[in-house]
Amino acid sequence: MTTESAEREPAESPVLDAKSVEALTHEVARRRTFAVISHPDAGKSTLTEALALHAKVISEAGAIHGKAGRRSTVSDWMEMEKARGISVSSTALQFNYHSDKDGSDNVVNLVDTPGHSDFSEDTYRVLTAVDAAVMLIDAAKGLEPQTLKLFQVCRHRGIPVITVINKWDRPGRAPLELLDEIAEQIGLVPTPLFLPVGIAGDFRGLLRRGEDGVPEEYIRFTRTAGGAKIAPEESLDPAAAAAREGEEWETAVEESELLSATGQDHDQEMFLAGQTSPVIYASAMLNFGVRQLLETLVSLAPPPHGREDVNGRSREVADPFSAVVFKVQAGMDAAHRDRLAFMRIVSGVFERGMVVTHAQTGKPFATKYALTVFGRERTTVDNAYPGDVVGLVNATALAPGHTLYVDRKVEFPPIPSFAPEHFAILRAQSASKYKQFRRAVDQLDSEGVVQVLRNDIRGDASPVLAAVGPMQFEVVSARMKAEFNVEAVLEPLGYSIARRTDAASAEELGRQRGVEVFTRSDGVLLALVTDKWRLQYIEKEMPELTLETLIGAGAS
């Protein structure tokens, strides 16, 4: 909390006049805020880069394949991400996109998420901040476990899903086979807007489906070197397409007719209700189908809308300013050494410098340093609207799930922590680094990188880290060394299950063999148990003790 924020009172938001409401409504209608979800290695970060390329906010895609020239994508900023070619942290990107289809000028807030299941907790936080999701599926592998889990989160939160079947430039499965799998495994009716012309591995272009599946045009793509530039497109009418592609075009037409016969045509109401999913076949690496995805997002995905608070009341977009923090991240730029709290604006107009109220503490908070972020690039933002993602600099009092507001008090539901399955004792290799060690642990804990557990027996010098997946421990070690110059030692702890408990049960649980009770930094008491058999014994013999199941990656 800055001195400035402590000395000033939160401002009351004036009642908007009709002209201001009209302007706000216009800005909200322009915005699309979405996340990309997928299994690892489905091409998520490459798609993120390709979308930015087609929006003309970068001139060349960063994912250039080839051993000599491979570059990391703009959304992967951590050294660990660049070295492994995977995303381990969510990243917010904002850019404008002018639609060629209807001439509209849109503001796109794209939140890239970790694909690896070890970081599903971070992905869950992102899904609390978006209005739609793009589900990316590998054309050869189809639906995979992590994708299924993340889809269940989308279903629970009522987030409509657009499906992209990626890597159609490589050998893979038949188009209708993949659609059947989506329908069977997740109960979502796939309604392709575009069908591929050419089998997987021979991607020639896309058939754009019209009403009742009638082909409206053939979009033919031309490859560019390494997929670094936007792929040129040529539009042909169905007759010209048939003459050019012959049997491949006829096959796509037949598939489109078959889909219409089974009712798999797009219906906007059913899409928004989470019953259907528009489908696009694409190759993010070659930039085939990427423009079509952007046009689909701005034309079909819902704009920002109101959100219910902890009391079940709706905060509408035209109400006074409110926002929810969904991510806190430090170390994004070594030159700044600061900490960013990413907030999703829920209602009203954000103005840089406005003094808001922090719902969790009731204290005023100044927003002098506010940024929009494109990867690691920062731009000062003066105004922002519902749906926008804004980074607040050095917001040490903020944590994921916190609410900021002006005028009428509002507090949005907290973001739950996942059930950890991996535990390790953390120590500083050198006792002389203890102060830096404590600072590092507190920062990573507040960011939600890992859960930190403590009890009187182990003390602050040896906290226990609790993680959904073991790679979270690698991130902790890497960031402690890079940002705090602390060499950390991690010693695995022999527990595999965590259950929420209470003060009345903690003493008895602490006496049980194979159980240890800790306090998480948010005050929740967790009982760690060695294995499921030990847990079953305790539950059977001492049913009066509180042992509550925590939320999991696929839970609601």
Give the alpha-carbon dihedral of 251, 256, 262, 263, to 10 degrees.
Answer: 180
| Nearest CA-CA partner of 223 in 142, 272, 169 | 169
Q: What is the dihedral of CA 95, 99, 104, 108, to 10 degrees?
A: -20
The vertex-116 CA angle with 473 and 223, nearest 5°, equals: 135
Q: Which residues pair with 60 in a beta bridge?
A: none
The strand pair at 497-501 and 525-529 is best described as antiparallel
The number of residues in the chain equals 556
| Residue 112 known to bind ligand | yes
Task: Compute the distance between CA of residue 394 and CA of residue 363 in angstroms, rounded to an integer.
Answer: 16
Between strands 276-281 and 161-166, the pairing is: parallel
| Largest Cα span, the chain | 79
CA torsion 472-476-479-483 (nearest 10°) is 150
Q: Is 116 annotated as a binding residue?
A: yes
Return d(Cα 163, Cα 171) in angstroms, integer: 19
Q: CA 249, CA 99: separation in Å to the nearest integer?
A: 27
The angle formed by the CA atoms of residues 373, 379 and 385, to the nearest 5 degrees, is: 70
Q: Is 132 helix (H, G, I), strand (E, B) or coil?
A: strand
Say how far apart CA 120 and CA 125 lie, in whole Å: 9
Tokens of 196: 């591929």
109: its two tokens:
């807030």
What letter represents residue 112's amino acid? D
Question: Does residue 488 contact residue 429 with C-beta atoms inside 8 Å?
Answer: yes
Q: What share of the chain is helix, strand, coil (3-state, %, to 5)?
A: 30, 30, 40
Cα separation, 50 vs 227, whole angstroms: 9
Pairing between β-strand 233-236 and β-strand 215-221 as defined by DSSP bridges: antiparallel
Give the SS3 label for residue 133. strand
Please answer whether residues 52 and 60 qualify as being in contact, where contact means their C-beta atoms are separated by less than 8 angstroms: no
Spatial distance between the Cα atoms of 345 and 331, rounded to a whole number of angstroms: 23
* Residue given tokens 């403590």 in the structure block: 454
Is residue 114 marked as binding? yes
> Residue positions in the annotated binding site for GTP?
112-116
> Residue positions in the annotated binding site?
112-116
